[in-house]
Amino acid sequence: MKRIILQTKSILWFLMLAVVISPTIIASDQLKELASLSVNASVPPYTAVTVSTNELSFSVLGTPGTYTSSDIVELSVESNQSAWGVYAKSSDLIHVKHGIPPLPAERLSFSVDNGEFKPLSNSILFLRGTINKEAKPVNLRFQLTTTWKDTPGIYKGRVTISFLNNP
């Protein structure tokens, strides 16, 4: 008899646990609203354009012609914005001594991922992206063309990389 009572108590104990622990399904019309939370999510625009180096150099050793920089620039773009574009432009290369004519910007050219070289005299769109596609890094190579009219010496200029978001 004692054994039956113990078994009955055990069964009741397990049934009680099953009722307490088991999930209860409640119809939504039975619920009373106690509170309401307003949700605000702020996603500011983000863009980062990075380059592997901030300096290019050309060793023009020999007769005038086209020389390729040994520097390869890796450019990466990260953006959460809609359609965007990356542009490049060069300034004229100015001789360090005043009064000597510069090397015109159109003589500096670049290529993207070993493609065709394009002169940098105007802003050139060379990379496009969209929000639904992750941009992959690109490699930029640069060339400089010299002529017999160019005075020997050191010339300095700037290649400007620009980003434009197209909302």
pTM (two decimals): 0.72
pLDDT at residue 39, rounded to an integer: 94
Domain boundaries, the chain: 47-165
Output the CA–CA distances (angstroms, integers) from residue 32 to 20, 24, 27, 29, 92, in the order listed.
22, 16, 11, 8, 73
Side chain identity at residue 158, one-letter code: R
pLDDT at residue 64, rounded to an integer: 94
47-165: CATH topology is Immunoglobulin-like (2.60.40)
pLDDT tens-digit readout, 67-121 = 999 999 999 998 888 788 999 999 999 999 999 999 999 999 999 999 999 999 8
From edge to edge, which strands make up the β-sheet containing 124-129? 124-129, 84-90, 159-165
pLDDT tens-digit readout, 14-54 = 555 555 555 567 676 777 888 989 999 998 888 889 999 99
The pairing of beta strand 84-90 with beta strand 124-129: antiparallel
Query: Residues with Cβ < 8 Å from 48, sequence gap 6 or more?
Result: 76, 77, 78, 79
